[in-house]
Amino acid sequence: MTEENILPDNTSLLKYTLSPEQEKKEILRQYRALLRGLRPKLKKGDRELVRRSFEIAVEAHKNMRRKSGEPYILHPLSVAMICVEEIGLGVRSTICALLHDTVEDTDVTLDEIQSEFGIEISKIVDGLTKISSVVGSGTSQQAENFKKILLTLTDDPRVILIKLADRLHNMRTMDSMKKEKQLKIASETVWVYAPLAHRMGLYTIKTELEDLSMKYLETEAYKEIAKKLAETKRERTRYINEFIRPLKEKLEATGFNFEIYGRPKSIHSIWNKIKKKSVTFDEVYDLFAIRIILDAPPEMEKEQCWKVYSMITDEYNPSPERLRDWLSNPKSNGYEALHTTVMGPQGKWVEVQIRTKRMNEIAERGLAAHYKYKEGSSDEDRFDKWFGQIREVLAQEDTDSVNFLNDFKTSFLAEEIYVYTPKGEVKMLPKGSTALDFAFAVHSQVGSHCIGAKVHHKLVPISHKLRSGDQIEIITSNKQKPTEDWLTFVVTAKAKAKIKDSLKEEKRKIAEDGKYILQRKLEGIGASYSQNNIDELMGFYKLSSQLDLFYLIATKGIDLKELKDFNVLGDKLEPPKPKHLITEIVPDQPKQYTKKDSELIIFGESSEKIMYSLAKCCNPIPGDAVFGFVSTGKGLIIHRTNCPNATQLMANYGHRIVKTKWAKNKEICFLTGLKIVGVDDVGVVNKITNIISGELKINIAALTIEGGDGLFEGTIKVFVHDKEELEELVDRLRSLPGLKVDRFDTDDTPK
């Protein structure tokens, strides 16, 4: 069979710009490019296996099209190409990437894949199949699948690397999807997949995932920063060349074999700086980083990196607090480098990154490169240690799926700090960890009995937040036991799991008493102590577990006096009939409400306008990009798409998101807030209030201003009709000399 004969002719599902013949040529072109990329890794028989997986994928997807109209087979081909070219994976991963959607989307079974390619490949494809069902499923299902992903990850990390390649290609080709789908996938990407890519050491992929997510979640800001980066490119290039010139001369004179270049920071990281530091694009000082990559033998890597650092700081003054030494203590994802920020020409701060070729490959290709360089090394493997921690947490029972996802994110995907035991042993913990997290990291028993700690020999409480470089000694007492409030300040998944286990164990002991009380009460009324009767009581008291029932009986939360109202038939309990039948009516789709509630259009099964409330966390106003979130107990809540909580809501509860847009209604006003900072001048408050109330006729809800040292800052809460009116107000206020104005989210609506 020739390669041409295995390609599909079906182009009837969607109009596509290429003819059937052109499509075949494009598919073959991509397949051959994939083989060229794999050539250095092909061993005897590999080419045939790749070819066979390609044939199966083409046949399985022959009638399928992507939303853009292109043949579906181009997606697995692109994913395989990312695995080979951008992550550095080999033949087995390529086969899995080509087959990754077959089991879920087509008639191909895992048994068929196993008999054709063996158990190793079928296991990875199975892992990938479970992953793809995460998207669009209910949250508890999502978390269960996520656990399965992680179990497969700890068994074979290639699963997550291929999944990241799959997610990257989906993000690159998301333009033809509906807006709400784009928001959901982008939120999920920035919430879980970008941090996961970072944790796997794939910095380039992590950066691209963040930028692509921002393109859909913060479209205006993304376009604005991209435009400004393009506009300042020539000026930036000129500055980089000026900065590099003296360093290049020094490095060449010393005989180093090196590359040096400048690269712009990602749009997402620039946006983060603008938000966190409340600065404008022009005020972000490190729009780019200078990278120096040395070709150094392994035994001289550290020495050469520090020599280069010394040359840089001889030329330019460094900022002492901005030195990052990941040579002595590499990150747990394998990242090694030396970062410093120095004062360059024209009084500009510039970040310089120094690393070797080996370190650079690990930074670009993460886990795949890490294992390549690890062969033959006796060093304790950081990834294996990380996988071990994940295994330990996965062994725990936790039914709350959203908590599980959030715990995983804060415990395993957060930035890290390095702390020391009294004997000088290094422990890596997520940022925000407390003394109690450290205690549990040392040992579960140490954590359970922890009553305090000494940080640098000073006594601190167990809730004390740790910082990098702290040396901690834990103080324990055999009388100490975990309590419920411990869960409010620990961040590591291990600590949370152990505390919950301990609390559950304590609850079980107390519940034993409740069990005996119930047994006696049931025997007293002639009923048996049976599962059927326990189930009846759980239903009557609306409890989900018999442990809760026994515990509440033991702690007098339930006194069982209602047992006298039950009928006993034989030895079975029959619950009492309700005296009054109360029917709670919950309409599927609330009807149209008053004019006050009708300035939003909610898209769903019905196009009727429905009742909703505005989120207090972001106070949306007409003109803001918004979405509806169906909450339990509070109905539909409207959030801005760039609300601080939006990403988490869309990532964890995609099925509860409702498409929403504003309809014009000039009769309603919305509360919003502005933060102002400026030069304290005579009459400045009068000028501000004159613009708001006098010129624009906008109602002020609250105004607070404090001055000092020639500056003032304050907040203004105003009622506006829509975003256009707010933007006009902001522009007018900014026209006042020396005044800086930013919108902020109002949490407390005045009564």
Q: Which residues are identified as catalytic?
A: 104-105
Beta-strand relationship, 657-662 and 635-640: unpaired
Distance CA 720, CA 310 (A): 56
Would you state the structure tokens that stand for residue 79, as one six-digit string?
């994913």
C-alpha span between 177 and 659 (Å, rounded):
14
Q: Which residue's structure tokens are 């919108």?
A: 743
DSSP-assigned letter for residue 597: G
Q: How far apart are CA 77 and CA 84, in angstroms?
A: 11
The answer to whether 369 and 362 have CB atoms below 8 angstroms apart is yes
Residue whose C-alpha is closest to residue 481's, from 499, 461, 455, 507:
499
What distance in Å separates the CA atoms of residue 553 and residue 662, rounded to the nearest whole number? 52
Q: How far from 351 is each of 240, 241, 323, 415, CA to CA, in Å?
A: 11, 14, 10, 19
- Residue 350's φ and ψ, nearest 5 degrees, are -130, 130
Sort 528 into a burial class: Cβ within 10 Å, 0-12 / 13-18 / 19+: middle
Report DSSP letters for 267-323, one per residue.
HHHHHHHHHHHT--GGG-S-SEEEEEEE---GGGHHHHHHHHHHHHHHHSEE-GGG-
Cβ-based neighbour number of residue 464 at 10 Å: 19
| DSSP designation for 291 | E
Environment class of 661 (CB within 10 Å of its CB; exposed 0-12, middle 13-18, buried 19+): middle
Residues with Cβ within 8 Å of 20's Cβ and at least 6 positions away in sequence, in order, are 9, 11
Token representation of residue 60 = 């399985």
Task: Give the C-alpha separation, 362 to 32, whole Å.
Answer: 27
Exposed, middle or buried by CB within 10 Å (0-12, 13-18, 19+), for 694?
A: exposed
What's the one-letter identity of residue 446?
Answer: V
Structure tokens that stand for 290 in this block:
């200078």
Q: Which residues lie across from 677 on neighbouring strands? A: 713, 740
Structure tokens at 137: 């499923």
